[in-house]
Chain A
Amino acid sequence: GEDVEQSLFLSVREGDSSVINCTYTDSSSTYLYWYKQEPGAGLQLLTYIFSNMDMKQDQRLTVLLNKKDKHLSLRIADTQTGDSAIYFCAEERTGGFKTIFGAGTRLFVKA
C-alpha cells in the first residue's frame, strides 16, 4: 500500500525500554526519519537513518533498519515520563519533497 504503517499506542513503565515499530513502502527511499510531537507542539526531528545503514545509535535512542522487510524501529532505553509523546515514522522517497509520514505512535510512560 501507499501508507507508512505504525501502531497507534504503546504503554511502558518508567525505566523500561520502548520499541516503536514501523513499516514503510518504498524500497528506494533514501532516508528514514523519526519525528517526535509533544503536546501542543509541532513535529520535531528526533533521529534519522540513511538507507545504506542497518543501525544507528544516539545516546538512549537506537534505530534499526531492515531494508529487505522495509521495517524500521526506534528503541528508547530507560524511558522517562518526558518521553511521553507521539512518534512519527517517515520515509523520504526519491524525487524531492516526498516525505511520507505514518499516523504516529502515542507513547504513554507510567511512573
Chain B
Amino acid sequence: ETGVTQTPRHLVMGMTNKKSLKCEQHLGHNAMYWYKQSAKKPLELMFVYSLEERVENNSVPSRFSPECPNSSHLFLHLHTLQPEDSALYLCASSQGGKGGLSYNEQFFGPGTRLTVL
C-alpha cells in the first residue's frame, strides 16, 4: 500500500462514452501526476499538478481532461477516446511544491487498466 489509490481498477468503454478516472493520495504531498503506460514504450507523463496548478501538459489530446480540485485528489476525464488510448493509466504523487525539488521520489497508485472498444 503506497498511500495512493486509484478507481476504478479496470474500465472498458466505447469510443462515444464519457468516463472519469479518480486518484487520491493520503501522503500530504503537493504534486500529483498522470502517466500512461503502454507495452514496450517509455512511461509517458501526461499531466502534472503542483499545489493544484497545472505545471506540465505534454501535448496530450484534448479528449483527456485533468482536474485537480485539491492537493489530495486528481481526476482524468475521458471522452470520445480511440482504441489506441487503451493502456494502464497511473497516478503518482510527490512532495514537490512550486518549482519542484531535485530529488523527487514519486509514489504510484496501482493504475487503471483502460480498454477502449
What is A's interface to B at a CB cutoff of 8 Å?
3-4, 8, 30-31, 33, 40-45, 48, 88, 92, 94-104
The answer on a CB contact under 8 Å between A97 and B105 is no
- 13 more contacts with CB within 8 A, not counting A44-B2, A98-B100, A101-B35, are A8-B40, A31-B102, A42-B2, A43-B92, A44-B107, A48-B103, A92-B103, A96-B55, A96-B99, A96-B101, A97-B50, A97-B56, A103-B41
The answer on a CB contact under 8 Å between B104 and A42 is no
The answer on a CB contact under 8 Å between B108 and A48 is no
The answer on a CB contact under 8 Å between A102 and B42 is yes
The answer on a CB contact under 8 Å between A42 and B42 is no
Residues of A within 8 A of B74 (CB): none
Residues of A within 8 A of B104 (CB): 31, 92, 96-97, 99
Given A31-B104, A97-B55, A3–B42 Cβ distance below 8 Å?
Answer: yes
Q: How many residues of B contact A (CB 8 A)?
A: 30
With CB as the reference atom, state the residue of chain B lying closest to A3. B42
Residues of B within 8 A of A103 (CB): 40-43
The answer on a CB contact under 8 Å between A92 and B102 is yes
With CB as the reference atom, state the residue of chain A lying closest to B105. A45
Residues of A within 8 A of B86 (CB): none
The answer on a CB contact under 8 Å between B108 and A31 is no
Interface of B: prevailing SS? loop
Most A CB atoms within 10 A — which of B40, B42, B45, B91?
B42
Residues of B within 8 A of A4 (CB): 42
CB of B21 within 8 A of chain A? no
With CB as the reference atom, state the residue of chain A lying closest to B106. A99
Contact of A42 among B56, B90, B101, B102 (CB under 8 A): B90
With CB as the reference atom, state the residue of chain B lying closest to A30. B102
Docked CA distance A35–B65 (Å): 27
Residues of B within 8 A of A30 (CB): 102-103
The answer on a CB contact under 8 Å between B43 and A88 is yes
Docked CA distance A102–B45 (Å): 11
Per-residue A-contact encoding for B40-71, CB less than 8 Å = 1, 0 else: 11110100101000011000000000000000
